[in-house]
Structure 1
Amino acid sequence: MSEKHTRKIRSDGEQSRERLLQAAMRLFAAQGFNATSTREIALAAGANVAAIAYYFGDKAGLYRAALTDFMPPPERNIAQFDQPGFTLRQVLQGYYAQLLAPMMEGDTAQLRLRMWLREVLEPTGTWQNEIDNGIRPEFEALAAVLARHLQVPVDDEVRRLVHAVGALGAHLMVSMDIVAAVTPQLMAAPNALQEWIPRLVGYAEAIVAAEQEKRRKGEG
């Protein structure tokens, strides 16, 4: 088999897999996991049902891929905000940049968001796996970084601080439709989410400074 022919087969296979993923995201987002059949997905993708088994194993494998394929490993995300010598501002810039990056993919990002919301309401186990293997390591990494900047051990107050810092970005992710409806001018520009990052950094710096001041005064 020629190298050119091998590349063509690989390219066709990648396109077929991508069509299945896109069709699956649309249907899972609209109907949920249980109400969506592999036959529907294959028909929407213009593919054979057997292709789902070939590329993903089964419907559950396709569902996991549709939810998580786009997500970089936690180590890569952590590296964006946990580097020796980073100032607090650099830490927060890196943190929000990686947090919001998946939402900067237009319609695909919205489909994935709807899938995640459905997963929270109709859990299949994929969400718990993501918490254990993605969200938790990133949470603990940010807690360690903020504790270093505060020069304190990682305690429950630091963990509350991480939740507060994360909530600023999570609100945009989960409630982007509401933000766009209430304040459309803040989401109208093509790079609107990118413009939010320095603002979130400023707000988070204020939260960290408030925690630092509370500790300085010895307040509980």
Structure 2
Amino acid sequence: MTQHPRGKTNKARGEETRQKLVEVGLRLFAMNGFNGVSMRSLASEAEVNLATVGYHFGGKQGLYEAVIHEIIRFRDEVMPGEDAVREQLVRFEAGEINKEDLVSWFFRSQMQGILSDPTSLWGVMLLNRELADPSDSYQLLDSEFFTPSIDSMVLLLKAAMPEETSYTEVMAVGLALIGIVLKFVMPKVFTDRVGWDEITPERVEELIEILSRRAVAFVCC
């Protein structure tokens, strides 16, 4: 279809509407849970008519599944994937980087992926809801988000920690590090006490520098 010079094609407008519904759905589901969100509130927040949600997703369940797939799509941006980890392990084994560099890279990648995107708050909130009260979509999240993320984390930590370290200890350390990152997704307790009005990009970098050094000390050195 040829695009009209004065506007967008119907397809382009449809894609914009679909993406807006996913973004609104992520926020509303994160705040209120699946059962706490109505089709009417979704349509109102997205500034579309009620039938539009059904047209694009078949209903609320379809939109929720689209939101879950959107979270999965950004998995490697907030948690280094196995391929990225193996690339760093090759550098480590070749002597190009040391254990401190390895751990710092992994932790910084998590911090930057989560703290640099303001919408991460909603994704984290929704993931926590799924962990606390799994929906029908939990198995998909487990297989496509949680398991690959944990596998890549364990792969890296096993290389950084002493060979005799048990799997239990590796998991405990890894999840503790993830917990540190997630604490700064909603940083009000911290910012109120250090006198920051907001988390600017410069302050994100300052936090990453502080916490990545401490993460290295916690894991191996």
Task: State the TM bucket, normalised to the shorter chain.
Answer: 0.7 to 0.9
Amino acid at match of 1:179: F
Q: Indicate yes or no: 2:22 matched with 1:21.
A: yes
Identity of aligned residues (%): 22
Q: Indicate yes or no: 2:152 matched with 1:141.
A: yes
Amino acid at match of 1:2: T
Residue-by-residue CA offset, 1:169-212 (whole Å, 9 max, x unaligned)? 23323x423323333439543332232222222112112236xx
Could you state the TM-score of these two structures normalised by the residue count of structure 1? 0.74
Distance, in Å, in 1 between the alignment partners of 2:172 and 2:163 is 14
- Paired residue for 1:72? 74
Q: 1:111 to 1:166 in 2, by over 3 A?
A: closer
Name the count of aligned residue pairs: 208
Distance, in Å, in 2 between the alignment partners of 1:158 and 1:26 is 33
- Paired residue for 1:214? none
- Paired residue for 1:162? 174
Q: Which has the higher contact order (CA 8 A, sep 6+)?
A: 2
Q: Which of 91, 103, 127 pairs up with 1:85?
A: 91
Q: Which of 108, 122, 132 pairs up with 1:111?
A: 122
Residue-by-residue CA offset, 1:34-58 (whole Å, 9 max, x unaligned)? 0211122123222233332333343
- Paired residue for 1:34? 35
Asked whether the 8 Å contact 2:160–2:220 carries over to 1, the reply is no
Could you state the TM-score of these two structures normalised by the residue count of structure 2? 0.74
Asked whether the 8 Å contact 2:114–2:120 carries over to 1, the reply is yes
Q: Indicate yes or no: 2:58 matched with 1:47.
A: no
Distance, in Å, in 1 between the alignment partners of 2:18 and 2:176 is 38
Q: Indicate yes or no: 2:174 matched with 1:171.
A: no
Amino acid at match of 2:102: V
Asked whether the 8 Å contact 2:104–2:216 carries over to 1, the reply is no
Shift of 1:15: 1.5
Amino acid at match of 1:85: R
Shift of 1:160: 2.6
Q: 1:141 to 1:105 in 2, by over 3 A?
A: closer
Distance, in Å, in 2 between the alignment partners of 1:91 and 1:164 is 17
Shift of 1:16: 0.6
